[in-house]
Amino acid sequence: MTNQENIKKKAVRILPWAAVAAAAAIFLASLSGDMGKKKIDPVSRADFALDTFITVTLYDSSDETILDGCIQLCRDYEKLFSKTMESSEIYRINHREPWENRILVSPETAELIEKGLFYSELSGGAFDITIEPASALWNFKTQDPSVPSLEALEEAVSKVGYEKVSVEENEVVFQDSETTLDLGGIAKGYIADKMKEYLIKRGVRSAVINLGGNVLCVGERPDGQPFEIGLRDPFGDRQDQAVTLEIQDASMVSSGVYERHFVKDGVNYHHILDPSTGMPYQNGLESVTIVSESSADGDALSTVCFSLGLEKGMELADSLSGVRAIFITEDGSMHYSEGARDLVAKR
């Protein structure tokens, strides 16, 4: 039974550590030490894609053509899902003519949008893939960022509403010509899952995919032990860890207020936006980390649980089979869903 069915039933060449930490919210904690008697010579490939630094590291293969293919696969999916690349399907959707209410897309894009709509509905709209009119008003990269006007935000959120979108086979159907999509809250996880499928098909059984905040472990370390993944401390420097988790054949995804953000007049404005206002959520949370089998599920759920806040987010995480969550609140406290504390490294 898939995780979505369970939900319906119940409701790096590894870069130097500084470079990896600067690119990702979570990172490999300790793979350079003793990994048993077997000598390990991992091979890695690092690149810049999905607006972040990415790495793929193989621990049981020296075939670098596998790395090349895996990175290329990531780029191919980026060309489908990017909202800024003019050749992408999402760009095509967002710039369709007013009379176009049915857009034919690839099976992969249709699948991703359908999954995004599922989580939009699950969250009651607290997470919404039609947030694009509001998210487009925020620029977290400029040297002099500004807060959008209330008038602009009010106009933008009037166009938001996942209920206006549906998927029929490979067609995306719109009820409103002004509805546009932003898949940033789920696309990286989906891509990571596809990269894992590719590696497994090529015979890889021990690897780590790091897509800058999305870490997906394929199997376990060559010595049979879990991978150790450091969860970033949102209150410290980029290389500081709040805790180290043991991850085996699973995904670990974090969403937090320290990723894309800026401070203006003493207020921290971050990229996790409330679809009802277009403003960043201010609910006392600093980060939410989800450990799950599927990285797409973890990617969406890290944002969903953050959006719902500690109490409702924890309730949702506890209701889902195979999902474990760690919430860090603005007072520095760590809150674990059922079973999540068991992941903390013993040493």
237 vs 203, residue with greater confidence? 203
Split at pLDDT 50, 70, 90, the class of 316 is: very high
Q: What burial letters (b/e) apply to 34-66, b meaning 16+ CB within 10 Å?
A: ebeeeeeebbbbbbebbebbbbbbbbbbeeeeb
Number of alpha helices (DSSP H) and beta strands (DSSP E) in the chain = 9, 16
CATH class of 3-81+186-343: alpha beta
Token pair 């500081």 is found at: 240
Give start-end residues of each CATH 3.10.520.10 domain in the chain: 3-81+186-343
Rg (CA), the chain: 20
**What pLDDT, in 10s, does the model give residues 103-123?**
999 999 999 999 999 999 999
Ranges for all domains in the chain classified under CATH 1.10.3980.10? 89-174
> For the chain, how far is it from start to end, CA to CA, in angstroms?
34
Structure confidence by residue, pLDDT tens digits, 259-271: 788 888 888 899 9
- The domain defined by 89-174 folds into T-fold (1.10.3980)
Residue 72's pLDDT band (boundaries 50, 70, 90)? very high
